[in-house]
Amino acid sequence: MADNTLREFVREALAKGQSRKHIESALRKAGWPDDQIADALAGYADVDFPVPVPRPRRFGGAREAFLYIVFFSLLGVFSIQLGAVAFAFIDSLFADPLERGLQYGAASRLRWSIASLVVGYPIFVYLGWRLSAARRKDPERRVSRVRAWLTYVTLIFAALVLIGDLVAVVYNFLGGELQSRFLAKAGVVGVISGAILWNYTRDAERTTAGADWAGRLLAILTTLVTVALVIWAFTRVDTPNEVRLRAFDQQRMDNLHAIARRVDCHRTYFGATPENLTVMEEALKQHAESTPVAAGCAGETPSDPATDAPYRYEALEGDEFRLCATFARGWPEDEDEGRTRPAPHFSYVAGEARRTLQYPKAPGETCFDLEAIDFEKEDDDPAPALE
């Protein structure tokens, strides 16, 4: 933006009848930058009037501030999520054996990044195009104080976030990450942060209304990279139907845990495993009406979340029993590391022991042979007889 000294000189020169070309030539010889010369001349209308007529400065309002705040907020979201997908891609290229089996939740994070890019990036591109078109149509907007302040404030936050990401990369490297993976992630951080700082610092200082070919080329390359990474990310996550089936399977594992807990309750309060799940539910219900029971011992016996069918239960010899459930997908071992696959077993504490259920590796019915555990009661009263 031109300073007051330059604006005052242009006003006096125009008032004395000097042409715009002569004023521009004189200022160039004096060493003034072209953008400030253009800004100062653009401040006065080219009309036939005895004195210079100032142009209205039609920028800096709430509407413009709103558009720029949304635009730069989306820039921050886009850069962070693009970096997250790029990091996941690097992790798939340079797999670390130390992280095998620790990828539970990685697919969920990747789905969040995909959603952010699919929704946010087109809006970000549209707002950028609209704001650029407005600046080309009205060169006065290029010297907007709102645009300049929001640009630099946003660049500060973007730089801090990306520097934080770089710190995290260095921290992971010091923790034993592969060198090739460290260098690749550091390169991603450098490219993203460098592109943002270079493009928007340069754009904030531009006052000419011509087409920004360097910025357009950067936008095209960024779009191509973003589309490629999003397509790759789609191949690394389960489809919506697979995610739903896997959620049902996880619920079945939780339900088996709950049923095994109630078998333990029945063994504790009545001294034997139940004949069937119906008998167990009625007995525990009646017992809970007269005597406080431990957590997880009362309530209805859970059923299959998809079909509402009861789980198959079979009392075996002694305190042993069998629980069976039909799984929709299971957790195959040959799935990619980035998919939602938990640890190989499902453990929970039952009394003083830890009971482990192995995750099924294939769809279909899977049975678990378990032994009921008599956990310690809070009182020494004899258990009521089971009718």
Q: What does the pLDDT read at residue 152? A: 78
Give the integer Cα–Cα distance in Å for 233 and 92: 11
* Size of the chain in residues: 387
Q: What does the pLDDT read at residue 387? A: 35
The two structure tokens encoding residue 248: 């049902």
Q: What does the pLDDT read at residue 57? A: 62
What residue ranges of the chain have pLDDT lower than 70?
1-3, 35, 56-61, 95-106, 138-145, 158, 161-162, 165, 172, 176-178, 204-211, 334-354, 376-387
| Of 339, 374, 345, 348, residue with least CA distance to 358 | 345
Q: Helices 179-205 and 213-236 sit at what angle, rounded to 10 degrees?
A: 140
CB 64 within 8 A of CB 142: no
Q: What does the pLDDT read at residue 16? A: 86
Strand partners, 326: 365
Q: What does the pLDDT read at residue 367? A: 94
Positive/negative CA dihedral, 191, 185, 232, 83 = negative
pTM to 2 decimal places: 0.62
Q: What does the pLDDT read at residue 236? A: 83
Q: What does the pLDDT read at residue 143? A: 59
Q: What does the pLDDT read at residue 381? A: 44
Give the integer Cα–Cα distance in Å for 88 and 106: 9
Positive/negative CA dihedral, 127, 129, 130, 136 = positive
CB 375 within 8 A of CB 268: yes
Q: Helices 213-236 and 62-93 sit at what angle, rounded to 10 degrees?
A: 50
N-terminal to C-terminal alpha carbon distance within the chain? 91
Q: What is the DSSP string of 199-240?
A: HHHHHHH----S--HHHHHHHHHHHHHHHHHHHHHHHHS--H
Which residues contact residue 273 at a Cβ distance below 8 angstroms, ignoring those fewer than 6 apart? Answer: 263, 266, 267, 315, 319, 320, 321, 372
